[in-house]
Amino acid sequence: MPPLAALPRFVGLLAVWVVIGGADLKGLAVGAATAAIATWFSLRLLPAGVLQLRPLPLLGLLLRYPLQALRAGTEVACRAFDLRLSPGFVPYAPVTAPSVQRDAFLTWSSLQPGTLPAGEDEVSGAVAIHALDVTQPVAASMAAEEARFARIFRG
Amino acid sequence: MNEVTIFGLLAAALVGLGLYGVLTHAAPLRRILSFNLLGGGVFLVFGVVARRGAGAGFDGDPVPQAIIITGIVVAFAATTLAIALLLRIAELRQDGTDD
Amino acid sequence: MSATLLIDLALAFSVLAAALWTVAARRAFEAVVGFVAFGLVLSLAWVRLGTVDVALTEAAVGAGASGVLLLGATARLGAQTLAEVRDQPAMALRIATGFFCALLAVALGWTLLNLGDPAPSLAPLAAANLAATELGNPVSGVLLAWRALDTLLEAVVLVLAVIGVWSVAPDGAWGGIPGDIQPPRRDPALRLAAQIIPPIGVVIGVHLVWTGAEAPGGAFQGGTVLAAMWVLAWMAGLVRPPAVSSRRLRVWVILGPIVFIAIGLLGSFLADGFLAYPAAFTKPLILLVEAALTFSIAVALVLLLVGPPKAAP
Amino acid sequence: MSLLADAFTVLAVLAGLFFLAAGTLGLLRFPDTLSRLHALTKADGLGLGLIVLGLMPQAGSLLGALKLLLVWALAMLAGATVGQMIARIARRESQ
């Protein structure tokens, strides 16, 4: 296994240990060993180099997220009160080819305002996006979000 | 009235309800579920006894608490075995080879 | 009426409602969902009873692992209930049963309300002996030192359950890979989650074991989390278990009990008796037993959840 | 200072509870499974997030606050995953 490519994961998992368990010295030794095992498991599930993240765009995306969550939650809350709905599916063909990046984008988009991916169409390959209001520009906002999301990956 | 009273009564109710389910349900899966409710009630009796035994700086008597943990895991092991038997019987019935 | 009392009442009613739903639901699937909810609310009740160790076990084993097992079983059983219409007890019999069950509940409730004071307690004794184990968590102390025999037998029960589950395998499938073969790309969302979450879960699971010496947690809770992480990766088709004929797998399952028994026998020679720890090495030996137990518990739980082998090797 | 933090906590948790209630209302009122999933993944996610945000000043330490954040992140990831899986099955069944 390429040790350098696995380093960010190891550091991240060690950070999880410190966050949940504190940073006392004896615990940290166990934490480092645990993070090493967890990194090995992680590499088995998702080989190194498949997901190469760029830190700054990632940070930008994450910082924008609370606002998006607020918009998404408020929209659903409003519709729960006045029941102004026209639910339905909007087909959306992602630009990204089927890959971990695409799976990650779809999971991400399910947390964005108004959109919920509901599986691919067997024939066309487009993803059926469920929306509470199909009169909104659903496909356009998906495309904008996908462009934003694509920037967090290298290459 | 305190948590010992409330959860003690809950434990008693769960034991009665679980036993009723075990005795009256015909489907084995439902009996397994009811049996686990009955078990939950019995563990809760232990939990109430443990709580009453709080002392020496502990929130409860650690001995019954440890026994509850053992009990939950053993009950789970028994449940997996019961489910494995159940699925195998269902498989055999579907194949029509159960006579 | 104080706020905590209100919370206790609300919790007790939620537990009872979930239990009623589990017994009364019309379809098996609904009953299982009720049971999982029952386990989750009950684990909150354990917190209110002052025992976070049990709450963690209840949430991990009673709700989580049982939920996976039971939902899987419901899906595989489909419409089959394995019961005939004639098996249903008559209404009169049901009412009589209900009456006697209610009577039992009332008697038990009355007994619990009228337990003698002061309540008998082993807490002072446990506290006095806790110092010898150098552990901070009294429940872990009881599980691994004072009542070590119970814990050893419990670990053995898990091994026996694995043997039991394996033994219902069809004749032709013996020696094969346990469980269904998962489709490799069933659902992209599940697959993504199974690629990201398990490593984090491994850290959380090991931490639960490590912290169990001082704070709530321990081998059973941590082992369940580790097992759940592997099962998640398995459900997404990312990993598969070794065949049941594999010697390596069998050694893994019995490693915990073997280490426990070996250290117990060591106590027969170097300390006061079987399962007693030599005073100078108490804590390291307990940690060693706990590590080996965690590993075997995790492997055993995985095998119990995955089920018997289905196809020939 | 601590009064300010307490006020922030109360406000944020109340706002969180409001969104959880709205999500539950949507769960009860929306006409189909897929619409109800919006109520769960979006309104409840926001509700939980606001509660976590409100509790962060009470965590007592930076690590405690980060631990709350980790819980929220894992809950969101799990919710987003399960939401999509149920949506896929619900769409197949509605066809």
> For the residues B63-83, what does the mean pLDDT come to?
92
Distance from CA of A103 to the nearest CA of C (A): 6
| Two structure tokens written together for C155 | 């670990």
| Structural contact between residues D85 and A116, judged by C-beta atoms closer than 8 angstroms | no
Contacts 24+ apart (CB under 8 A), C288-291: C288/C259, C288/C263, C289/C144, C289/C256, C289/C259, C289/C260, C289/C263, C290/C140, C290/C144, C290/C209, C290/C212, C290/C213, C290/C218, C290/C219, C291/C209
Which pLDDT belongs to residue C202?
Answer: 96
User: Cβ atoms within 10 A of the Cβ of C149, count?
Assistant: 12
Top-confidence residue, B92 or C282: B92
Whole-model pTM: value is 0.91
Chains that touch D (3 or more CB pairs under 8 A): A, C
* Region at C108 (left for phi over 0; alpha for psi -120 to 50; beta for the rest): alpha
Q: Is residue D79 over pLDDT 70?
A: yes
CA–CA gap between residue C195 and residue A44 (Å, rounded): 9
Does C199 contact A at CB distance below 8 Å?
yes
Q: Using a CB-CB distance cutoff of 8 angstroms, which residues of chain D are in contact with residue C189? A: 80-81, 84-85, 88
| Phi–psi pair at A54, nearest 5 degrees | -105, 120
Give per-residue pLDDT as tens, A91-150. 888 888 888 899 999 999 999 988 899 888 777 778 889 988 888 888 888 999 999 898
Nearest to A143 by CA among A133, A155, A132, A129: A129
Residue to mutate among D25, D42, D48, D71, with most A CBs inside 10 A, is D42
Instruction: Give, in order, the Cα–Cα distances in Å from B32 to each of B36, B38, C300.
Output: 6, 10, 21
Q: Using a CB-CB distance cutoff of 8 angstroms, which residues of chain A are in contact with residue C202? A: 34, 37-38, 41
Which pLDDT belongs to residue D1?
Answer: 63
Residue to mutate among B43, B48, B76, B92, with most C CBs inside 10 A, is B76
Q: Write the CB contacts of C70 (distance below 8 Å, at least 6 apart in sequence).
A: B29, B32, B33, B79, B83, C32, C35, C36
CA atoms within 13 A on the CB side of B34: 22
Distance from CA of C206 to the nearest CA of A (A): 7
Domain ranges of chain A: 3-45, 55-150
Domain ranges of chain D: 2-94
Distance from CA of C125 to the nearest CA of B (A): 9
Sign of CA dihedral A106, A108, A111, A112: negative
Task: Mark C255-273 as b/e (b = at least 16 C-beta within 10 Å).
Answer: bbbebbbebbebbeeebee
Cβ burial, residue C300 (10 Å; 0-12/13-18/19+): buried
Q: Is residue B98 over pLDDT 50?
A: no
CA–CA gap between residue D40 and residue D51 (Å, rounded): 16
Distance from CA of C287 to the nearest CA of D (A): 26
Angle between helical axes of C282-306 and C219-235 (0-180°, round to 10): 30
Task: Give the one of C5, C50, C97 whose C-beta lies nearest to B60's C-beta.
Answer: C50
Nearest to C304 by CA among B42, B41, A42, B74: B74
Does A106 contact C at CB distance below 8 Å?
yes
Shortest CA distance from C237: residue in chain A = A45
CA–CA gap between residue A136 and residue A138 (Å, rounded): 6
Q: Is residue A2 over pLDDT 60?
A: no
Q: Using a CB-CB distance cutoff of 8 angstroms, which residues of chain A are in contact with residue C233? A: 45
Cβ burial, residue A148 (10 Å; 0-12/13-18/19+): middle
Answer yes or no: do D90 and A16 touch at CB < 8 A: no
> For the residues B85-89, what does the mean pLDDT come to?
91
Give per-residue pLDDT as tens, D45-78. 999 999 999 999 988 888 989 999 999 999 999 9
> For the residues A9-14, what does the mean pLDDT come to?
93
Q: Using a CB-CB distance cutoff of 8 angstroms, which residues of chain C are in contact with residue B88? A: 168, 170, 308
| Phi–psi pair at C304, nearest 5 degrees | -65, -40
Q: Is residue D9 over pLDDT 90?
A: yes
**Rounded-to-10 torsion of CA A11, A13, A16, A17:** -90
Contacts 24+ apart (CB under 8 A), D27-33: D29/A80, D29/A83, D30/A79, D30/A80, D30/A85, D30/A87, D31/A85, D31/A87, D32/A87, D32/D90, D32/D94, D33/D86, D33/D90, D33/D94
Answer yes or no: do D76 and A111 touch at CB < 8 A: yes
Which pLDDT belongs to residue A137?
Answer: 87
Residues of D with CB under 8 A from a CB of A: 18-19, 22-23, 25-26, 29-32, 34-35, 37-39, 41-43, 45-47, 49, 63, 66-67, 70, 76-77, 80-81, 83-84, 87-88, 90-92
| Structural contact between residues D20 and D41, judged by C-beta atoms closer than 8 angstroms | no
Residue to mutate among D37, D81, D92, with most C CBs inside 10 A, is D81
Q: Is residue B81 over pLDDT 50?
A: yes
Amino acid identity at D51: I
Residue to mutate among D41, D84, D86, with most C CBs inside 10 A, is D84
Which pLDDT belongs to residue A24?
Answer: 83
CA–CA gap between residue C263 and residue A148 (Å, rounded): 58
Instruction: List per-residue pLDDT tens for chain C, 313 residues long.
Output: 688 899 999 999 999 999 999 999 988 999 999 999 999 999 999 999 988 999 999 999 989 999 999 998 998 888 777 777 777 888 899 999 999 999 999 999 999 888 877 777 787 778 777 777 777 788 887 887 777 888 889 899 999 999 999 999 888 888 888 888 776 666 889 999 999 999 999 999 999 999 888 788 888 999 999 999 999 999 988 888 898 889 999 999 999 999 998 988 888 888 777 778 777 777 888 888 889 999 999 999 999 999 899 877 7
Residue B99 binned pLDDT confidence (cut-offs 50, 70, 90) = very low
Answer yes or no: do C193 and D77 touch at CB < 8 A: yes
Top-confidence residue, A10 or C140: A10
Q: Which fold has domain B3-95?
A: Helix Hairpins (1.10.287)
| Two structure tokens written together for D67 | 């631990």
Looking at every residue in chain A, the average pLDDT score rounds to 87
Q: How many interchain CB pairs under 8 A, A with C?
A: 65
| Phi–psi pair at B55, nearest 5 degrees | 170, 180
| Structural contact between residues B11 and B41, judged by C-beta atoms closer than 8 angstroms | yes
DSSP letters, C245-271, are T-HHHHHHHHHHHHHHHHHHHHHHHHS
Q: Is residue B97 over pLDDT 60?
A: no
CA–CA gap between residue A86 and residue A152 (Å, rounded): 33
Q: Is residue A155 over pLDDT 80?
A: no
* Region at A153 (left for phi over 0; alpha for psi -120 to 50; beta for the rest): beta
Rg (CA), chain B: 18
Shortest CA distance from C192: residue in chain D = D81
| Two structure tokens written together for C158 | 């898990």
Does C186 contact D at CB distance below 8 Å?
no
Does A99 contact D at CB distance below 8 Å?
no
Touch A-B: 3+ C-beta pairs under 8 A = no
